[in-house]
Amino acid sequence: MTGSRPPQQEPNDAPTGAAQRLRAALAAPRLTRAMGSHSPLSARLAEEAGFDVVWSSGLEISATAGVPDANILAMGECLDAAAGLASAVDIPVLADCDSGFGNVNNVIHMVRSYEARGVAGVCIEDKQFPKLNSFIEGNQDLAPLDDFAGKIRAATETRTDMVVVARLEALISGQGMAEALRRADVYERAGADALLIHSKRKDPEEVFAFREAYRGGLPVIVVPTTYNQVTVEELEQRGFAMAIYANQALRSSIRAMRETLTKIMRDGTTLNVEPELAPLKEIFDLQRMPQMLQQQERYESLGRELAEAAQ
> For 202, phi and psi rounded to 5 degrees?
-90, 0
Confirm if 163 and 155 have CB atoms less than 8 A apart: no
CA–CA separation, 125 and 211 (whole Å)? 18
If we measure between CA atoms, which residue out of 77, 73, 93 comes closest to residue 22? 93
Per annotation, catalytic residue among 69, 96, 98, 193: 69
Does residue 146 carry a catalytic annotation?
no
3-state secondary structure 150-192: HHHHHHHHHCCCCEEEEEECHHHHCCCHHHHHHHHHHHHHHCC
Instruction: Name the residue type at position 86.
Output: A
List strand residue ranges (DSSP E) for 198-256, in order: 220-222, 242-245
Confirm if 240 and 208 have CB atoms less than 8 A apart: no
How far from chain centre, in Å, is Cα 9?
A: 22
Q: State yes or no: cis peptide before 204, omega within 30 of 0.
A: no
Confirm if 31 and 243 have CB atoms less than 8 A apart: yes
Residues designated catalytic:
69
